[in-house]
């Protein structure tokens, strides 16, 4: 610094308030630290962002159907609604089937007892076989054999 500039600089800094000088120096120090830290945070956050988004981007590239679903949200919502309706119908059908199976299992002892009584009752009420019509000569022979 030549003499003229040094005196000019001394006059500017000497007439300043000491608090203003401290504030100026702190601001300068903070700015000199803030910029590299901000750059490193920006670099770090972009690295984290890449780390989190890259697997998702790779998966979407491997499954183009899902990528199209993201690109066309209204169509996706319509298809999702139809799929939910179909799934609810399937769940209702499964519920009815299991209900019928349980009712059949619980009714089976009663039905078995009814079936056994029906067979037993029919066997007890069975009539003897009807005698065929015999001619008088055959009737006479039958009577003689019975004696």
- Model confidence at 128, pLDDT cuts 50, 70, 90, reads low
Higher pLDDT, 126 or 81: 81
Kindly state the tokens that stand for 124: 């007890």
HEC letters along 57-126:
HHHHHHCHHHHHHHHCHHHHHHHHHHHHHHHHHHHHHHHHHHHHHHHHHHHHHHHHHHHHHHHHHHHHCC
pLDDT over 80 at 123, yes or no: no
Query: pLDDT tens, 75-115?
Result: 999 999 999 999 999 999 999 999 999 999 999 999 999 98
Report how far apart, in Å, the C-alpha atoms of 101 and of each of 68, 106, 134 are: 43, 9, 57
Q: What is the pTM of this model?
A: 0.39
Q: CA-to-CA distance for 110 and 39, rounded, in angstroms?
A: 82
Q: Which pLDDT belongs to residue 1?
A: 47
pLDDT at 57: 82
Question: What is residue 110's predicted lDDT score, i.e. its pLDDT?
Answer: 92
Is 87 within 8 Å of 81 (Cβ atoms)? no
3 or 62: whose pLDDT is higher?
62
6-55 per-position pLDDT tens digit: 555 555 555 556 667 667 776 766 666 666 666 666 666 666 777 788 88
Token reading at 116? 């056994």
């Amino acid at each position: 610094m030549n003499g003229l500039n040094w005196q000019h600089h001394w006059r500017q800094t000497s007439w300043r308030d000491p608090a203003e000088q401290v504030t100026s120096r702190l601001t300068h120090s903070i700015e000199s630290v803030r910029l590299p830290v901000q750059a490193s945070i920006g670099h770090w956050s972009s690295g984290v962002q890449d780390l989190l988004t890259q697997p998702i981007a790779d998966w979407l590239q491997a499954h183009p159907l899902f990528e199209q679903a993201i690109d066309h949200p209204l169509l996706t919502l319509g298809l999702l609604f139809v799929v939910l309706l179909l799934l609810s119908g399937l769940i209702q059908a499964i519920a009815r089937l299991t209900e019928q199976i349980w009712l059949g299992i619980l009714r089976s002892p009663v039905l078995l007892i009814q079936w056994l009584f029906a067979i037993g009752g029919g066997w007890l009420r069975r009539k003897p076989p009807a005698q065929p019509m015999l001619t008088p000569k055959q009737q006479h022979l039958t009577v003689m054999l019975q004696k």
